[in-house]
Amino acid sequence: MPFCRPVMSRALRLRPIILHARADPNYLEESVLTMRVALVILTSSCVFYLAGCSGTQLATPAKTNPVQGAAIRGKVHGGQTVISGASLYLYAASSAGYGSQSISLLNSNVLSQTPAGGQDTNGHYYVTTGSDGSFAITGDYTCPSTTSQLYLYAVGGNPGLPPGSNNPSIGLLTALGTCQANSTLSPTLYVVINEVTTVAAAYAFAGFATDPTHVASSGTPLAQLGIANAFANAGNLASTYTGTALTTTPAGNGTAPQVIVNTLADLLAACINSTGTVSGPSNPTVCYTLFNDLLSGGTTGSVPGDTATAAIYLAHNPGANLDALGSLYETLPADLPFQPAVTAGSGPNDLTVSIAFSDGSLNKPLSIAVDGAGNVWLANYGGNSVTELSSLGVDLSGANGFTGGGMNGPMGIAIDGQGHVWIASQTNGALAELSNTGSVLSPGNGYPNAGFSIGGAGMVLAIDGAGNLWITGGSAGVTKFSSGGAVLGTYTGAGLDQQTGISVDGSGNAWIANTSADVSEFSSSGSVLSGAAGFTVTGQPYGVAIDSTGNAWVGTVSSSVMQKISPSGSVTSATINAHNAEVFGIDGAGSAWTVGEGNQLVGVSSSGALLSGPYAYDPPSLYGAQAAALDGSGDIWVANGGNNTVTEVIGVAVPVITPICAGLPATPTANGTSNLGTKP
């Protein structure tokens, strides 16, 4: 089969906001606006970081400030053939809530264009592509706000069939990004829309898309940052000026997945460059096979109505129906429109799309955290430093990373409600604190009299709703610190032994995974809540994360199970296809995610259903995976201690509130409930 099974092993700075259409060659080149503070998203929405943690999740809706849009022109392609007579829509992602209808932007002026545009049964206007596949959108449309995220959606048209023919199965996307008022990038934007840009868009904003006409988020500032980062990420995968898959990200430090993007584009092109007939199962057409292999739920659910919908469904379920898609790929012609691509019989283990970022400051990164702006922070055990990357993987911390503050063999990292970064070092037992810009806030040797033990399984941090820090430290106990770095107590008992993870629930209780086959729970004041021996689980617990209902999820060493412990201590298990899998987080759907020693990602739904396909996700750039974190765009970031890189697996999860502690309430709940593992 071309899609092979993996071998199981044991084992506040805003990113660049880009309108991902290059300027017409007769005008300006692509512009990149890098901003230190997310003013465009957070204008008049109070302070982003507040004391403690709960203040990070703001409920302020997106501010409406309509602006005139820029003119856009370009071409629509199917493979290497132009598509004439396609209906081209311009949409803005909605901020009315997840699953909401996208906002149609074109107005009745398109009816007087040549070729004439039209209006569909939903009242949405569209322009029509000419005989050469070209289109033109004037500035006669209005964006809902300066922060609106725009995209193009082409439907139907003739991909080189006899005159008058139409392929109704065609659906193509291009993510444009943030609306640029008054043509601030250039007088005219030039865009290519094809299968490559469709794959890039579908994966990048998968966490916000139900289908091509329902791309939406909530109106909170965190959600608006998350969806803006997602749209920008499409530009790391493909150029909308040329319609080609990239080999290197625009910043130059990321290896883009050109081969897999081309391969997925080729699968779509087989249907697009046909009559579009959907008939089967006897003598099935290529569109029938493609659509029935890409259901909304992976192997169950709705059949897509066009190729853009199919691409979104695929991005939601990149581990489903690999064998069927592999068989389809073998039927494709040798002269594939997008190359290089996967050759038949040598396909990937799954259809995830990921980018590997390299950075000179990365030196054995062992832990990772994501802040409220989507920036990624990594503790470099070998470099005594911290690396910060933007949501697009751009280095924000310099050639040597951020240093000082007592960092010496840093292992644990966490981010509080003010955006401050806390790092626990194993070599000297120091606790360091950095501002959200990387400035050292702790004393030169770290906060004194830290009090936690050096050694054991390592230092792991968690921050509670009041902004206090909980740090593991071997078998000696768990230490709690104030937000000012003062020791509040060291707690022992409850079966503590070589801790591998810690997390705090909505009641302020700390849950700790121990290698002695138990999970300990302490109250906010340090009282033992789990009995003298802790809660007993199967195998050796590895990592712990808390969901919105107060359940603690743990992975296990040398065991293919993930376990859920209720607030009362009852344990249920889910079988997974990875060993030595460390639970690192809960996404916005309440699903738990692990990263395995065999470089595998596994997701389990809140009900225990396996989300990551029958073989687990195994992105090719994972190497010596040490830790992982979820972001507000639905991406998973993995620290590769084996080769000093960071892998971003794009759109594979559901967007979640970041940093983690932002999901905790300011006033503890009685039953451990919170906004942990919920959408921003």
Give percent of the chain above pLDDT 90: 69
Instruction: State the chain's mean pLDDT as an integer.
Output: 87
Helical H runs in 520-606?
none
Query: Using N-to-C axis directions, what is the helix angle for 307-316 and 286-293, rounded to 10°?
Result: 30
User: What does the alpha-carbon distance between residue 450 and residue 379 come to, in Å, rounded to a whole number?
Assistant: 19
Helices (H) and strands (E) in the chain, counts: 7, 44
User: What does the alpha-carbon distance between residue 467 and residue 481 come to, in Å, rounded to a whole number?
Assistant: 9
Full-model pTM: 0.92
State the average pLDDT over residues 46-68. 50
The per-residue pLDDT for 475 is 52
Quickly state the pLDDT bin for 26 (edges 50, 70, 90).
very low
User: What does the alpha-carbon distance between residue 66 and residue 118 come to, in Å, rounded to a whole number?
Assistant: 24
Contact 139, 33 (CB under 8 A): no
- Helix, strand, coil content of the chain in percent (nearest 5): 15, 30, 55
Q: Which two tokens stand for residue 655?
A: 């967007």
CA dihedral angle for residue 323, residue 329, residue 331, residue 337, rounded to 10 degrees: 170
Q: What is the DSSP string of 18-44?
A: ---SPBPTTSPPP--EEESS-HHHHTT
- C-alpha pair distances (Å), 380 with each of 210, 383, 411: 38, 5, 7
The per-residue pLDDT for 29 is 31
The per-residue pLDDT for 345 is 67
Backbone φ and ψ of 46, nearest 5°? 75, -165
Q: Tokens 């494709």 map to which residue?
A: 332
- C-alpha pair distances (Å), 549 with each of 109, 564, 583: 51, 11, 17
Burial 59-89 (b: 16+ CB within 10 A, else e): eeebbeeebebbbbbbbbbbbebbbbbbbbb
> How buried is 394 (Cβ within 10 angstroms: 0-12 exposed, 13-18 middle, 19+ buried)?
buried
pLDDT tens for 525-547 read 999 999 999 999 988 898 999 99
The yes-or-no verdict on residue 560 having pLDDT over 90 is no
Q: Which two tokens stand for residue 11?
A: 């084992």
Quickly state the pLDDT bin for 599 (edges 50, 70, 90).
confident
228 vs 179, more confident: 228
pLDDT tens for 125-180 read 999 999 999 999 987 888 998 889 999 999 999 999 999 999 999 999 999 999 86
Strands (E) in 405-523, as ranges, are 410-415, 421-425, 431-434, 461-463, 469-472, 478-481, 487-491, 499-504, 510-514, 518-522
Query: Using N-to-C axis directions, what is the helix angle for 322-330 and 286-293, rounded to 10°?
Result: 160
> How buried is 108 (Cβ within 10 angstroms: 0-12 exposed, 13-18 middle, 19+ buried)?
exposed
Give all domains of the chain, ordered by start, each with its CATH number. Answer: 14-47+58-252 (no CATH), 259-330 (no CATH), 354-663 (2.120.10.30)
Least confident of 223-232, 258-267, 473-482, 514-523: 473-482
User: What does the alpha-carbon distance between residue 515 and residue 261 come to, in Å, rounded to a whole number?
Assistant: 40
Quickly state the pLDDT bin for 108 (edges 50, 70, 90).
very high
The per-residue pLDDT for 477 is 83
pLDDT tens for 475-493 read 568 989 999 989 898 899 8
pLDDT tens for 319-355 read 988 888 888 888 788 889 999 998 766 777 889 999 9
User: What does the alpha-carbon distance between residue 238 and residue 244 come to, in Å, rounded to a whole number?
Assistant: 6
